[in-house]
Chains A and B, each alone.
Chain A
Amino acid sequence: MNHQDALQEMAVERYLLGELSGASLDSFEEHLFECSECTMDVKAGTTFIDAARAELIAPRRVTAPYIESPRRWTSWLTSPWVLAPALAACLLILAFQTLVVQPRMKLEVARAQAPAVLTPLVLANAGARGDSIPEITAPEHGFFVVSIDVPATGSFSSYLCSLHAPDGSLLWQTTISHEQARDSLLISMPTDRSREGLNTFLIQGLPAGVSSSDTLEDLASYRFRVKIQK
């Protein structure tokens, strides 16, 4: 037996397992005594086997079992697949607020706080016919001032002032006291509260001694056109 034969036949393993006998045993042992490679392999094998016997007798080291806590229905919230996109979304929102929303708000606040001469849109004399419907050009995120006369007819305890959009939907409403109605009302209207196009202020009176809104009486309707300057 030469070394190549020994490798091919796994002679070292067969020898260690006691599977060789007779001529094959003699042949391998003759090779073994002249081959340092096979000798080292056999020596390593016997050392391993002898030590393994001692180790296999000893109880196997066992680490404390990891007891997985039962999955709750909220466990998906802590999944990396959920947390990572959620964190990214939070960062995105934070960046948008910091870089876009806040500067815009600061600008609007600065504009609102800056002294300015007001030019109110006077609706006091506007007729229902709308031959000359007043028009105002209002800054997109600003405001405009409207001057309205409340017809002080009849005995009303208070008045209701409503702003309606071009489609008739209610945009804004406020109650005006009898005292306030004596003079022209100056209303500071944020442009965002109105709609571009034909808006209508409706003045209604609430008769004295009556609390129900069903008994409101239409007193005046003022139409005006809003143009938003962007």
Chain B
Amino acid sequence: MNFAAFDASYVNKLRSGDAPTEQHFITYFSELILLKLRSRLRNQEQIEDVKQETFSRTFSLIRSEGGLRHAERLGPLVNSICNNVLMEQYRSSNRIESLEDEIAERLVETRPNALSRVISDDTRKVVRRVLDGLNERDRSLLQAVFLEERDKDEICTELGVDRDYLRVLLHRAKASFRVKYSKQAGAKKSDWVFG
């Protein structure tokens, strides 16, 4: 499906129950919702519940009388609904009453593979090439941050870099991955589905 933007046509198709559009919608926002939730919920089951409830309420709203007035606001709508469902989840689990930082931090998922998924061999090959292109320090930095999950300030001090360096390193690695992945996949940018 050639996706360009969430416009009136797209919303109309969702409203009418067009299967490909629905599938695209779910695929597109699933990963965003999971990313949003994995830093807020510990339990995989809870994450899945919130995600499903978010989609359910979104479809209900779109298909209701009046529906979504501004199609370009579809994304923020999904985000807003997700926030609401999340708040309800917190209340129902009887742990917190708000999304304040210190409370959310208690619920941060620390396990690195909370949302682990099957990474294709092709993707791993591309990532391997990116990592092989790094010097030892940069490789150690990424390993310490993402694999060992050590304190970032501590790692940066140890390796003699600052947090900006870490961000730039990640930015460059990510950009390199995107370039190499696109060359390998040969897919259109709008159809990229990483995995």
B36 at the interface (CB under 8 A from A): yes
Q: Is the CB of B112 within 8 A of A53?
A: yes
Chain B 111-126 per-residue mask, 1 if CB under 8 angstroms from chain A, else 0: 0110011010001101
Q: Is the CB of A44 within 8 A of B128?
A: no
Of the residues B79, B146, B192, contact of A30 by C-beta under 8 Å? B79
Q: Which residues of A contact B195 (CB under 8 A)?
A: 47
Q: Is the CB of B177 within 8 A of A34?
A: no
Q: Is the CB of A14 within 8 A of B167?
A: yes
Contacts A21-B101, A40-B189, A42-B32 given: A52-B194 contact, CB under 8 Å? no
B96 at the interface (CB under 8 A from A): no
Q: Is the CB of A47 within 8 A of B119?
A: yes
Contacts A14-B167, A34-B72, A48-B130 given: A57-B32 contact, CB under 8 Å? no
Q: Is the CB of A33 within 8 A of B167?
A: no
User: How many residues of chain A get a CB closer than 8 Å to chain B's CBs?
Assistant: 39
User: Quick one: closest A residue to B80, CB to CB?
Assistant: A30
The majority secondary structure among interface residues of chain A is helix
Measured CA separation A40–B142 after assembly (Å): 21
The minimal Cβ–Cβ distance linking A12 to chain B, given in whole angstroms, is 8
Of the residues B72, B146, B171, contact of A13 by C-beta under 8 Å? B171
Measured CA separation A191–B6 after assembly (Å): 105
The minimal Cβ–Cβ distance linking A3 to chain B, given in whole angstroms, is 13
Of the residues B28, B99, B171, B181, contact of A39 by C-beta under 8 Å? B28
Could you say which of A19, A26, A29 has the most chain B C-beta atoms within 10 Å of its C-beta? A29
Identify which of residues 25-53 in chain A touch chain B, using a CB-to-CB cut-off of 8 Å: 26, 29-30, 32-36, 39-53
Q: Is the CB of B119 within 8 A of A54?
A: yes
A64 at the interface (CB under 8 A from B): no
Chain B 131-170 per-residue mask, 1 if CB under 8 angstroms from chain A, else 0: 1100000010011011100001000000000010011101
A55 at the interface (CB under 8 A from B): yes
Q: Which residues of B contact A42 (CB under 8 A)?
A: 32, 35
B85 at the interface (CB under 8 A from A): no
Q: Is the CB of A57 within 8 A of B79?
A: no
Measured CA separation A42–B38 after assembly (Å): 14
The majority secondary structure among interface residues of chain B is helix
Q: Is the CB of B194 within 8 A of A47?
A: yes
A18 at the interface (CB under 8 A from B): yes
Q: Which residues of A contact B73 (CB under 8 A)?
A: 34
Q: Which residues of A contact B119 (CB under 8 A)?
A: 47, 50-51, 54
User: Quick one: closest A residue to B193, CB to CB?
Assistant: A43
Of the residues A19, A26, A34, A53, contact of B146 by C-beta under 8 Å? A53
Q: What are 25 A-B contacts with C-beta separation under 8 Å?
A: A10-B168, A12-B174, A13-B171, A16-B174, A17-B152, A17-B166, A17-B170, A19-B163, A29-B36, A33-B29, A33-B75, A33-B78, A34-B6, A35-B75, A42-B35, A44-B177, A44-B192, A47-B195, A48-B174, A51-B119, A53-B147, A55-B124, A56-B139, A56-B142, A56-B147
Ranked nearest first, the 10 interchain pairs of A and B with the lowest CB-CB distance are A34-B75, A33-B75, A47-B194, A33-B79, A51-B127, A13-B167, A48-B177, A56-B143, A51-B119, A56-B147
Interface on A for B, CB 8 Å cutoff?
10, 12-14, 16-19, 21-22, 26, 29-30, 32-36, 39-57, 60-61
- Apart from the given pairs A33-B29, A43-B31, A54-B119, 16 other A-B contacts in the complex at a CB distance below 8 Å: A10-B167, A19-B163, A26-B83, A30-B80, A43-B194, A45-B170, A47-B177, A47-B195, A48-B130, A50-B117, A50-B119, A51-B126, A52-B130, A53-B146, A56-B131, A60-B139
